[in-house]
């Protein structure tokens, strides 16, 4: 189902690169403000949110660059930017407006740096 899901997301406005794999049961809210780069894997049950209700409705772009891995059941909130070769562990929470560095592994609730990759 991954290629069909990626095709659906493209049809509704998401910018999805080549060789993007979705593990299944993924939720992408507001796909028109989501960008996912080439050769990226989004684990099963991961959620990417582009909107949030606080005192008002907040809609903010989510960018996941090339060669990233988002673990199963991770939650990505609005305004997040994952740079090249970034890894987010399973069941992790990336809070709003965070930028995660390239070549780095993150995990936890909320995420924190685990280690730099070479």
Residues 25-66 pLDDT 10s: 999 999 999 999 999 999 999 999 999 998 999 999 999 999
What's the confidence (pLDDT) of residue 1? Answer: 67
| Cα separation values, 90 from 39, 45, 99, Å | 18, 10, 18
User: Is CATH 3.30.565.10 what the domain over 2-116 is classified as, yes or no?
Assistant: no
Percent with pLDDT over 90 in the chain: 94
Each residue's pLDDT tens digit, 5-15: 999 999 999 99
Alpha helices in 12-105 (DSSP H): none
The pTM of the full predicted model, rounded to 2 decimals, is: 0.94
Q: What does the domain layout of the chain look like in residue ranges?
A: 2-116
Would you state the pLDDT for residue 34?
98
């Amino acid at each position: 189902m991954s290629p069909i899901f990626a095709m659906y997301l493209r049809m509704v406005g998401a910018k999805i690169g080549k060789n993007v794999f979705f593990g299944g049961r993924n939720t992408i809210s507001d796909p028109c403000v989501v960008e996912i780069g080439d050769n990226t894997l989004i684990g099963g049950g991961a959620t990417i949110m582009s909107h949030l209700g606080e005192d008002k409705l907040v809609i903010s772009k989510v960018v996941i660059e090339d060669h990233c891995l988002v673990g199963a059941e991770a939650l990505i909130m609005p305004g997040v930017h994952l740079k090249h070769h970034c890894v987010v562990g399973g069941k992790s929470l990336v809070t709003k407006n965070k930028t995660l560095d390239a070549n780095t592994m993150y995990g936890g609730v909320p995420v924190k740096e685990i280690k730099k990759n070479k």
